[in-house]
Structure 1
Amino acid sequence: MSRSRTASAPASGTASIRDVAELAGVSVGTVSNVLNRPDIVRPATVERVHAAIKELGFVRNDAARQLRAGRSTTIGLVVLDVRNPFFTDVARGAEDEAAHDGLSVVMANSDESAEREASHLDYFETQRVLGMLISPIGDLGDRLERLRAAGTPVVLVDRTAGNRSLSSVAVDDVEGGRLAAQHVLGLGRRRLAFVGGPHDLDQMRDRLAGARAAADGVKGASVEGIATAGLGFEDGRRAAKALLGRPASQRPDALLAGNDLVAIGALQVLMGEGGLRVPEDVAIVGYDDIDFASAAVVPLSSVRQPRELIGETAVQILREEAEDPSLEPRQVVFKPELVVRDSTVGRGAQG
């Protein structure tokens, strides 16, 4: 016999599915069907169950439900630096794609710390997430392969898998570095510096390699690699201050930055403290083409990556692997695009 609707109800948020069933005068199984398969329940019963849910303030425990089902609706995303708008845009693309299937993305920031990265992976593993997207600091191949073997799909973001044992979504960074260097070399610049790091990041190593490949065979051309501790605005400022300490003849006439934040930091110091003219004294090319690039005091030439598309594609692959673990890993590599602005050709010279 169902209890009267005038009976006292549990405090909001503490009601159980049994309380809902009792108030609605139905079985627990019927309530479960209303929550999960309402199409098989009579409309009048669905309406009565929802009225009971509203009156009791019932909140379904998705975490417990997912644990019982052995399948989560959460995707873990570990990025190198959450302050970098590149990763914010990647996360937005991932979230938009995940939302199509009722999935959610939880982003964690490793801050380029191996310890924090490991901690985030531990947490996501204990939470039994649907899968993980990660832009790793170093070589995590063994651990990530173990996760995949245990049934947790892993997709590398902004990084390729060297042995193709994991799926990945990235941009051809060697080509990106080549495009940037080829552009300034074509403008007659010969003393190039690649500023960004640390150089043990695959992305930085590949971009520097691409720049050096472009300079090979160009008479008088050289590419100096200047490593930075990180890829933030202040890293660019510190590198630029060091360059200002050199004699003018030993400074680069073109600076290729590891990303746009480094480029903007260097731009401010070189023009402000150094009094240099950009691009007349030094041409600057960034990487990523974040929104800030076009809004810099001198609009920044930059190598554009399809940031949101990277996130979208990574989620698509992860979802496919979650549905069919037998799928072979896929490597998706997008081509970068050089966007030319005033920091290399000067105002009004692009046309």
Structure 2
Amino acid sequence: MRDVAAVAGVSVGTVSNVLNTPGKVAPATVTRVQAAIDELGFVRNDAARQLRAGRSRCVGLVVLDVGNPFFTDIARSAERRAGDHDLTILLGTSDDDPTRERTYIDAFDEQRVFGLLVSPVGDDLDRLDSLRRRGTPVVLVDRDGTGTPFDSVAVDDFAGGRLAVSHLLDTGCRRVAFVGGPATLRQVTDRRRGAASAVSEVPGATLEVIDTPALSVLAGRHVGESLRRRGSRDRPDGVFCANDLLAMGVLQAFTMLGDIRVPDDIALIGYDDIDFARSAVVPLSSIRQPTTRIGATAVDLLIAAAADSTSRRTPANPVFQPELVARASTGGTAGPSSDLPVWSDQ
């Protein structure tokens, strides 16, 4: 920085302001300092800056499955919002594995990240609470943290499960199957509870629960193949999958041999409304989550928590409402429902 200051003919403090708060410096001076930086090939030593500040300008983001477009969209949105605040997102995927999740949390802690965004695998939040109490802001993503000391941003998955199955029931389905797992994921259990609630209100309707080891296309295909082997009277007439990847796998199994027609024989609905849903061989009905708002809101909450780390601060826990997008897989027409609020703050 001293070399840059000498070439630009300014003080070291001015160079520091150009790097950190350029709005405080006259535009002509900024241009002169940037020219000196380019001439010298100067690269700021972030490790040294981190030692002085005590924290880096990086944010750790741990998601359940980066291969799921739902989490990819959240990460992309978080990255954009973080960039607005001169922050960088470091991404890790737990693969629904608590041990792997802990490894990433420990690694980000060692890097003294600015803060941590986490989609927790289970309900044990002790390690995250330890970080929070030591001054590292933590925001739960895709998990309602109401009643915990954490800020969070989530979607009402109970309402989403209820919305999906109510739609199947409205189309005439009475033998409904819920497909999803593992049960350790709060999102899965909440969506299943919502499904059960909808079924309980319709006389003669039943709900079969089919557990899966993962929320993947392959797991969905295995379920679809097992349903194909059943007699027509033993099959459900409506299937609600806990996410779109499962639903895509079920759809593949049904349509590869063409012996089960969707939705004529079995209506099918997923969850997340990923881009692939609308372009499937039978366009997939789904429950849409506002991924862009989830990612951006998570970063906003993290920045607010970092600015006010006092114990008197009340955590914020916004909960977004999901939307039904009805397509050909349930005999519906494309388009989200418009009578639901976008979000509520609980």
Q: TM-score, normalised by structure 2?
A: 0.89
Judge conservation of contact 1:259–1:287 (CA < 8 Å) in 2: yes
- DSSP 3-state at the match of 1:287: coil
Kept in 1: contact 2:224–2:254 (CA 8 A): yes
The counterpart of 1:160, out of the listed 144, 147, 164, is 144
Matches for 1:268-283 after TM superposition, within 5 Å:
268-273=252-257, 275-283=259-267
Find the residue that maps to 1:60 and give its secondary structure: coil
Show structure 2 runs of 5+ residues with no match: 337-346
Q: Are residues 1:98 and 2:82 paired? A: yes
Higher Cα Rg, which structure: 1
Q: For residues 30 and 163 of structure 1, do their structure 2 counterparts lie closer, same or farther at Cα, with a shift above 3 Å needed? A: closer
C-alpha contact 2:96 2:121 (8 A) present in aligned 1: yes
The reply to whether residue 67 of structure 1 matches residue 33 of structure 2 is no
Instruction: From 284, 302, 306, give the equivalent of 1:322.
Output: 306
Asked if the contact 1:176/1:210 (under 8 Å) is kept, the reply is: yes
Please name the residue that 1:344 is paired with: 330
Mean alpha-carbon deviation: is it higher for 64-73 or for 175-184?
64-73
- AA in 2 matched with 1:187: T
Task: Work out the CA distance in 1 between the residues paired with 2:317 and 2:333.
Answer: 39
- Counterpart of 1:213 in structure 2 is 197
Residue in 2 that maps onto 1:287: 271
Q: Which residue of 2 aligns with 1:244?
A: 228
The one of 39, 46, 58 equivalent to 1:55 is: 39
C-alpha distance in 1, partners of 2:228/2:117?
A: 40
Residue 296 of structure 2 corresponds to: 312
What is the CA-CA distance between 1:71 and the residue it aligns to?
3.2
Q: Take 1:330 and 1:128, find their aligned partners in 2: how far apart are those partners?
A: 23
1:278, 1:346 within 8 Å by CA — same for their partners in 2?
no
Residue 102 of structure 1 aligns to a residue whose secondary structure is coil
What letter is aligned with 1:332?
Answer: P
Confirm or deny that 1:332 pairs with 2:318.
yes
Secondary structure of 2:202's counterpart equals coil
- Paired residue for 1:255, among 234, 239, 245? 239
Q: How many Å apart are 1:275 and its aligned residue?
A: 1.3
Aligned residues: 333
Among 197, 205, 213, the alignment partner of 1:229 is 213
TM-score (ref. length: structure 1): 0.88
Cα RMSD of the aligned pairs, angstroms, is: 2.3
Q: Alpha-carbon deviation of 1:161?
A: 2.2
Distance 1:40 1:209 in 2: 54
Displacement of 1:25 after TM fit?
6.4
Q: What letter is aligned with 2:318?
A: V
Offset at residue 74 of structure 1 (A) = 1.3
Q: Which runs of 5+ in 1 are unaligned?
A: 1-16
Amino acid at match of 1:273: L
Is this contact kept in 2: 1:244–1:274, CA < 8 A? no
Which digits, 9 at most, give the CA deviation of each residue in 1:270-293, with x for residues without a partner? 122361110010000010111111
Is the 2:146–2:317 Cα contact (8 Å) retained in structure 1? Answer: no
| Inter-partner Cα distance in structure 2 for 1:103 and 1:183 | 42
